[in-house]
C-alpha cells in the first residue's frame, strides 16, 4: 500500500512538482530528475542528492531505478515505471507533458511542510553570500500557495513580478519571485530548512555567522518616567518656566534637573500623574548642555511598541535600519515618520541607510522596553524522516 499522506511521499511530490520531468518517450513514458552546478567541485552534492532521491523512490514504491548518468555539469536520474504512473494519475491526475504552467499543488499538501521542503530543494535558492531564500517560478498558482504557507507560519517575504530577459529565457511568461531575507531567514531555517546537501550547507554556514539582525522582544508595556530615569541625571529643557508658573523660588539656570522639579512639585501637593501630564509640554535631555532633547509621551502606546521591534541600541543613541524594516514587509519611511512625530527629533543617516538618533534619553527608554532575542536557530533535521 502507498501512503500518500506520509512525509516521504509529500516530499517526493514536492520535488517532482518543482524539478521532475514526466514525458512521452518512444512507446511509453519516462520520469527524469536532474541536479547540477556550474562549480565543478560542487557536483558531488548533486550526485549525493539524487542518490537520496533514488533511495526514496525505492522505499516508497519498492522499485529499483537505473544508476545516475552524468551529463556535463549535472547528474540525471531517468526511469520508466507503470506502477508509479498509475499512482500519480489516480491520486493527482498527473499526466505526461509540459507541466510548467499547468501543474498545481495537490490540496492535501498545501499546508504540508514536507511538500514545500521538497519543492524548495528542487526550485528554491539559498544565496551563497547573503541571508536570502528565494523561489522564482512562472506558475502563479504555486507561488500563491507558497505565499499562503509562509504567512500561516509567520514568515514575512517580499514578492516581485517581472518579465525575464536574456538569452537563457525563451518565453514571454511573467516571472514571479518570493524572497525571504533578513529577519526571517533564521525563522525559515528553524521551521522548514533544506535537505538538499548544497543548499543545507549554505544555510548552515549563514546560521553559524554572527546574526545580521538581532530580534527585539517587548518586555514592558508601561513606563513611568519618574521611576525609569535617574532624576538627578535627567534635565528638563526650560524647566525654570515650571518654577515660575507655580511661584517656586529657583536659581536662574534655564535647564532644571528632573529630580529637582519633581521634589518641588511634590512639596506643593502635586501628584505623580499631574507631574507627568505637565511634563508632556517639555523636552528631556541627558545632560545640561546637550543639544539633543526629545519629547516623551505620557504612556507607551501601540506605535511605540511597533517602533521598538526595529530599534538597535547603541551607546548614547538608538538606530533604526531601513533594510531591517523592509525585511518585515513594513514601510521604513512610515516607521521613521512615527518615531519623529512622537519624540520630535530628526535623525542622521549612515551609508547603510540607518537612521541614528543621538539621545541618551531614548537609549534608556528603549532599553527598558525591549530585550535582545539571542536564540540560536538550528535547521530541523528531517533527513532521517525522509531518507
Domains contained in the chain, CATH given? 7-212 (3.10.28.10), 215-221+299-373 (3.10.28), 225-295 (no CATH)
* Alpha carbons 153 and 191: distance in angstroms, whole number: 8
Decide if pLDDT at 345 tops 90.
yes
Higher pLDDT, 83 or 218: 83
User: Considering only CA atoms, which of 358, 362, 367, 364 is closest in space to residue 292?
Assistant: 358
Look up residue 266 and give its three cell numbers: 511634590
Distance of CA 100 to the CA centre of its chain: 28
Q: What is the DSSP letter of 108?
A: G
pLDDT at res. 381: 87
Mean per-residue pLDDT for 355-377? 88
Mean per-residue pLDDT for 202-220? 81
Res. 106 pLDDT band, cuts 50 70 90: very high
* Alpha carbons 387 and 371: distance in angstroms, whole number: 40
pLDDT at res. 292: 86
How many beta carbons lie within 10 A of that of residue 376, not counting itself? 9
The tens digit of pLDDT for each residue in 118-130 reads: 999 999 999 988 8
Decide if pLDDT at 308 tops 90.
yes
Q: Residue 136: helix, strand or coil by DSSP?
A: strand
* Alpha carbons 68 and 101: distance in angstroms, whole number: 28
Amino acid at each position: 500500500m502507498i501512503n500518500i499522506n506520509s512525509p516521504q511521499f509529500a516530499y517526493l511530490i514536492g520535488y517532482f512538482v518543482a524539478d521532475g520531468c514526466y514525458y512521452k518517450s518512444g512507446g511509453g513514458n519516462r520520469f527524469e530528475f536532474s541536479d547540477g552546478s556550474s562549480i565543478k567541485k560542487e557536483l558531488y552534492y548533486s550526485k549525493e542528492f539524487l542518490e537520496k532521491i533514488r533511495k526514496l523512490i525505492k522505499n516508497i514504491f519498492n522499485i529499483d531505478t537505473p544508476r545516475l548518468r552524468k551529463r556535463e555539469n549535472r547528474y540525471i536520474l531517468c526511469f520508466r515505471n507503470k506502477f508509479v504512473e498509475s499512482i500519480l494519475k489516480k491520486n493527482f491526475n498527473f499526466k505526461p507533458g509540459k507541466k510548467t504552467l499547468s501543474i498545481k499543488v495537490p490540496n492535501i499538501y498545501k499546508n504540508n511542510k514536507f511538500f514545500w521542503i521538497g519543492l524548495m530543494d528542487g526550485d528554491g535558492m539559498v544565496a551563497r553570500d547573503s541571508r536570502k531564500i528565494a523561489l522564482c517560478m512562472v506558475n502563479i498558482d504555486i507561488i500563491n500557495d507558497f505565499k499562503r504557507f509562509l504567512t500561516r507560519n509567520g514568515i514575512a517575504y517580499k514578492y516581485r513580478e517581472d518579465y525575464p530577459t536574456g538569452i537563457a529565457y525563451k518565453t514571454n511568461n511573467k516571472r514571479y519571485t518570493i524572497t525571504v531575507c533578513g529577519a526571517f531567514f533564521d525563522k525559515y531555517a528553524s521551521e522548514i530548512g533544506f535537505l538538499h546537501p548544497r543548499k543545507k550547507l549554505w544555510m548552515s554556514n549563514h546560521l553559524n555567522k554572527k546574526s545580521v539582525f538581532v530580534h527585539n522582544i517587548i518586555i514592558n508595556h508601561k513606563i513611568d518616567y519618574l521611576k525609569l530615569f535617574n532624576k538627578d541625571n535627567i534635565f528638563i529643557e526650560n524647566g525654570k518656566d515650571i518654577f515660575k508658573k507655580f511661584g517656586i523660588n529657583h536659581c536662574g539656570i534655564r535647564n532644571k534637573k528632573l529630580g529637582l522639579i519633581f521634589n518641588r512639585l511634590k512639596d506643593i501637593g502635586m501628584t505623580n500623574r499631574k507631574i507627568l501630564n505637565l511634563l508632556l509640554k517639555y523636552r528631556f535631555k541627558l545632560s545640561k548642555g546637550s543639544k539633543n532633547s526629545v519629547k516623551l509621551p505620557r504612556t507607551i502606546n501601540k506605535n511605540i511598541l511597533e517602533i521598538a521591534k526595529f530599534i538597535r541600541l547603541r551607546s548614547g543613541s538608538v538606530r533604526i535600519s531601513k533594510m531591517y524594516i523592509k525585511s518585515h514587509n513594513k514601510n521604513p519611511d512610515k516607521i521613521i515618520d512615527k518615531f519623529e512625530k512622537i519624540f520630535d527629533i530628526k535623525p542622521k543617516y549612515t551609508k547603510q541607510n540607518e537612521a541614528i538618533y543621538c539621545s541618551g534619553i531614548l537609549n534608556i527608554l528603549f532599553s527598558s522596553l525591549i530585550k535582545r532575542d539571542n536564540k540560536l536557530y538550528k535547521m530541523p533535521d528531517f533527513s532521517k524522516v525522509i531518507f
